[in-house]
A and B are shown apart, each in its own frame.
Chain A
Amino acid sequence: MSTAKITGIAALDGGQRLAVKYFAVAVVLFGAQILFGLLAGFQYLNPDFLYGVMDFSVNRTVHVNAMIVWMLFGFMGSIYWLIEEEAGIELVGLKLGNLGFWLFTAAVAVVVVVFLLIQTGAGTIESIWFINEGREYIEAPRWADIGIVICVLIFFYNVAATFMKGRWSGIAGVLVLDLVAVAGMYLTGMFYSPNLTMDQFWWWWVIHLWVEATWEVLVGCIMAWGLIKTLGARRKIVTTWLYIEVALMLGSGILGLGHHYFWIGTPEYWLTVGGFFSALEPVPLVAMVVHAVYDSGVHRFKSPNHPALAWLIAHAFGNFFGAGVWGFMHTLPQVNVYTHGTQWSASHGHFAFFGAYATMNIAVFYLAAQKWRGNVNFGGGLVDNGWKWKWALGLLNGGVVGMTMALLVSGYDQVFIERALEGATWAGFFKAQHNVWYLQGMWWRQLFGYMTAAGFFILVWDLMTIGVRETRPAVFPTEVAEHAA
């Protein structure tokens, strides 16, 4: 580990230079996600706000798509960040990787501009190809789907070829196999069918098998590497944990897909299959908490990068509570028949995406910032006592947890009034929406949204300044059990 203070781009290897570009776009999209979330949230409180100009559907679409895409940019950046160290050689296709980055970024920019300015189109296949596909989370038009697949294939080639040429590790093996599934799942969402049930059946292959299976494995790999990096955890132990997590994650998550097949016209055996396996989905997330807390405790929280370690721990707990507990709360069909498609889902969605994925990306941003600043100490005794990263951590987590709780209150109210009392009619829907408790929940959600936004600004400020005035070199933990090769 070098202690010389080489800073900026010169401090980075090829893959890391590429990764920083991905991180920059990810942060911009994170900001866009929050901004459009605030606009959409405010429309619940004042429906006339931007009515007919940027309707709720526009803001909500940009909100959720910015989220999906910044996660992807963060993951791709994270893997480019670690790959040269992990494989022990230079990235094999740096130029190709740069081309993929610019293609992806340009495609995202065009899609966002179209979403904002053109918004919707006539009911023709051309609109689906060039304006809006109109399917939640993957609203990007078909041309952009093809662009994304090309970029993911470039990425896959770079990762697989670099490990094949360099050295393999347990993390590398899991990562490469997982990327095959990430790319393959996306293809299942790229077709049109007039049959809505068939459409949603395959659409869930993309959304669920990404979010509740392959993405979880992906962050498991980044977590494994992150624990080695921040704590010096033993590779053999970390890799064994990774295998355990994969077995539990995919053992429950693949058939957990069935919890999306309760009410869309699919056969009734999915009630049993989906209910059972999705109830098991929190188990691997418990394992991840145990893993992270155990490793941190064993190493007495001694780390040269406190913000990164704090976000890794936030990930372990956020993933468990947001994805695990909040998902479990309404995953059984007996409950879900009432809660499906209400603010319960929004409550779970906010907590899970943030807890499982945003936290992990932010942890890697801090690892990147450290190397960018010349591998200075990000541990205890930071120049300004590290107030910015602590406040960003507190405000972002507090804001998202607050939104989650507020949406849950509104969700409870909606379920009781709309579903249980009013017979799930349109009149029942609006009766719930106008109820004072529902609206109180929405006000609180908005306030916690502002808190989240404040946390975001401090996070960006911190990432741009942390360690600038620091001179002490970081003392990195040595990795005891190195690569078997």
Chain B
Amino acid sequence: MSNVPWWASEDFWRKTAIWVTAGMAVVLIVLTFDTVKVITAGHSRVPAYEVINKRIYYRMNTKREFQEPIIGADAPLFGKMLTPEEAKAMVSHGKMTVQARNCGGCHTLLGNGSYYAPDLTKSWLDPSWAGESAREMLMVKFLMDPTTNARGFGGQRRMPNLHLTEEEAKAVVAFLKWMSAIDTSGFPRNFTPIAQEGDL
């Protein structure tokens, strides 16, 4: 084996494997520090929880060439302005409900999950809720009894009744409203939002 060139030797590739792995791990760690800072709620791309007190619009940014969420004037959820702590508690309760009821077993959130039911990323802004004013109560009603209020869009597929309490249903709506304000770099592309009433 003495005539094996250096570039084909076991020793060379062992060292290469170690250095490449270490180098990539260091880059990942550096990027992770930056990303974690940027995705903290209230920073540039992920909204603060009290965004549920505001109108959320979805508009094309011609410079970025995709749509982005825009935070508008006051529009308290269920008619009540919440403090940052109350808003965080409500959104958290909603997310915990989404996890404990295994919503991701049928739906995708930010595109991740299962493909049996629609993506929830922009569900707060979906045009199927008819209009902005009736939306939040329609969502609560649907979540509490999806079998009766089935929105199958002409097919047989229905959401099962997961027996959400009214408090859980409202919290889920808060979570969905908060999620719709995350800047997802234009995903899903070409999304058609609900008719957006009023000015910014």
Q: Are B105 and A123 in touch, CB under 8 angstroms?
A: no
Task: List residues of chain B with CB within 8 A of the CB of A132.
Answer: 99-100, 102
Beyond A47-B156, A131-B100, A240-B8, is A341–B20 a contact (Cβ under 8 Å)?
no
* Closest-CB distance, B182 to chain A (whole angstroms): 4
Whether A196 contacts B21 in the complex (CB less than 8 A), given A261-B35, A430-B154, comes out as no
Minimum CB–CB distance from B56 to chain A (whole Å) comes to 14
Name the A residues within 8 Å of B95 (CB-CB).
194, 196, 199
Instruction: Indicate whether A51 sits within 8 Å of B158 (C-beta atoms), given known contacts A120-B101, A247-B21, A266-B35.
Output: yes
- A335 CB to nearest chain B CB (Å): 11
Output the least CB separation between B152 and chain A (Å).
7
CB neighbours (8 Å) of A425 from chain B are: 126-128, 191-192
Chain B residues lying within 8 Å of A192, measured Cβ to Cβ, are 96
Interface of A is mostly: helix
- Smallest CB gap from B181: residue in A: A265
A433 touches B10 (CB 8 A): no
Alpha-carbon distance A345/B109, docked complex (angstroms) = 14
Whole-angstrom CA separation of A128 from B104 in the bound complex: 14
A52 near B187 (CB under 8 angstroms)?
no
Look across to chain A and name the residue whose beta carbon is closest to the beta carbon of B119.
A341
Q: Which residues of chain B from 66 to 104 have a CB within 8 Å of any chain A CB?
A: 88, 91-104
Max chain A CB contacts within 10 Å: which of B36, B49, B101? B101
B41 in contact (CB, < 8 A) = yes
CB-CB < 8 A to A271: which residues of B?
185
Interface positions of B from 4 to 48, Cβ below 8 Å from A: 8-10, 13-14, 16-17, 20-21, 24-25, 27-28, 31, 34-36, 38-41, 45-46
User: What mask results when residues 410 to 450 of chain A are scored 1 for a CB within 8 Å of chain B, else 0?
Assistant: 00000000011011111101110110000000000000000
**A434 to B137 Cα, complex, angstroms:** 28
Query: For the complex, is A133 an interface residue (Cβ under 8 Å from B)?
Result: yes
Residues on B with C-beta less than 8 A from A338 are: 189
Measured in the bound complex, the distance between the Cα atoms of B159 and A43 in whole Å is 12
A44 surroundings in chain B (CB, below 8 A): 116
A194 in complex: contacting residue of B49, B158, B164, B182, CB < 8 Å: B49
Q: Mark A124-147, 1 if CB is under 8 A from B, else 0.
A: 110110011111100100000000
Least CB distance, B75 to chain A, in whole angstroms: 21
Contact of A134 (CB < 8 Å), options: B13, B103, B111, B191? B103
Chain A 49-65, CB within 8 Å of chain B: the 1/0 string?
00110011110110000
A267 nearest CB neighbor, chain B only: B38
Kindly list chain B residues whose C-beta atoms are within 8 Å of the C-beta of A120: 100-102, 162
* B13 close to A247 (CB less than 8 A): yes
B180, chain A: closest CB distance, angstroms? 11
Question: A170-191: which residues lie under 8 A (CB-CB) from chain B?
Answer: 170, 174
The number of residue pairs between A and B whose CB atoms lie closer than 8 Å in the complex comes to 266
Chain B residue contacts of A48, Cβ below 8 A: 156
A196-B109 in contact (CB<8A): yes
A251 within 8 A of B: yes
Identify which of residues 197-212 in chain A touch chain B, using a CB-to-CB cut-off of 8 Å: 197-201
Query: From residue A419, how far is it (CB to closest CB) to chain B in Å?
Result: 6
Shortest C-beta distance, B96 to chain A (Å), equals 5
Q: Of residues 138 to 168 in B, which have CB atoms within 8 Å of A's CB atoms?
A: 147, 151-158, 160-162, 164-165, 168
Contact residues in B for A125 (Cβ distance below 8 Å): 96
Measured between alpha carbons, how far is A47 from B154 in the docked complex, in Å?
13
Neighbouring B residues of A196 by C-beta, 8 Å: 95, 109-110, 175, 179, 182
Docked-complex contact A239 and B10, CB < 8 angstroms: yes
Q: How far is the CB of A174 from chain B (nearest CB, A)?
A: 8
A247-B17, A265-B184 known, 18 other contacts, Cβ within 8 Å: A51-B158, A55-B106, A57-B106, A123-B101, A123-B172, A135-B99, A136-B104, A244-B16, A247-B21, A250-B21, A254-B21, A254-B28, A262-B187, A264-B184, A267-B39, A346-B115, A423-B190, A425-B128
27 contacts between A and B (CB under 8 A): A51-B158, A120-B162, A123-B96, A123-B99, A124-B100, A131-B100, A134-B100, A134-B101, A170-B10, A174-B17, A194-B88, A194-B96, A196-B109, A196-B110, A200-B110, A201-B36, A251-B21, A251-B24, A263-B187, A264-B182, A267-B39, A424-B192, A426-B128, A427-B128, A429-B117, A430-B118, A433-B155
Closest 6 CB pairs of A and B: A57-B105, A123-B97, A134-B99, A423-B192, A341-B111, A263-B187
Q: A residues touching B (Cβ–Cβ < 8 Å)?
A: 40, 43-44, 46-48, 51-52, 55-58, 60-61, 119-125, 127-128, 131-136, 139, 170, 174, 192, 194-201, 236, 239-240, 243-244, 246-247, 250-251, 254-255, 257, 260-271, 273, 337-338, 340-343, 345-346, 419-420, 422-427, 429-431, 433-434
